[in-house]
Amino acid sequence: MSDRLQNALILISVLGCGLVGGVFFAFSSFVMGALARLPTAQGIAAMQSINVVVINPVFLGVFLGMGATCAALMVTGLRSAFGPRELWIIAAGILYLAGSVLVTMLCNVPRNDTLAVLDPRAAEAASAWARYVSEWTLWNHVRAAASIGAAACLMVAWR
């Protein structure tokens, strides 16, 4: 991969990882808190709706697209003579792929799947919702930090 192409891919990845990190940060810093303040049935219903609407080409294109660009950059970094730039690129790829994509698939999506079938008016809904908000937000903090960290590592590699 030419330096020019690699620099363009790094810049795109900086912006995309930062954008994804910003979305996750918003959820961690105020969206989940706002949903938790609603009556249980309303909070559950709102999050169930969010979890359906988020599966769209725009969000998934950026979220998974950054996984692809980070993986491609890692491959080029591993094939190159190892220097500081390649180490920053590899660190960014590990952060994004493990801390954002893998955490999403292993931690957030299973909780979303459980919430999807929860009846908001069921007797156990309040305790299930409180547990969901706490656990989902914890893993979302990880995703936010990993995505923003990946963007920062890529910025260092880009400069």
pLDDT per residue rounded down to tens, the chain (159 residues): 688 888 999 999 999 999 999 999 999 999 999 999 999 999 999 999 999 999 999 999 999 999 999 999 999 877 777 788 899 999 999 999 999 999 999 999 999 999 999 999 999 999 999 999 999 999 999 999 999 999 999 999 988
- Any residues with CB less than 8 A from the CB of 141 and at least 6 apart, and which? 28
- Any residues with CB less than 8 A from the CB of 30 and at least 6 apart, and which? none
- pTM here? 0.93
Length of the chain: 159
pLDDT at 62: 97
Domain boundaries, the chain: 3-158
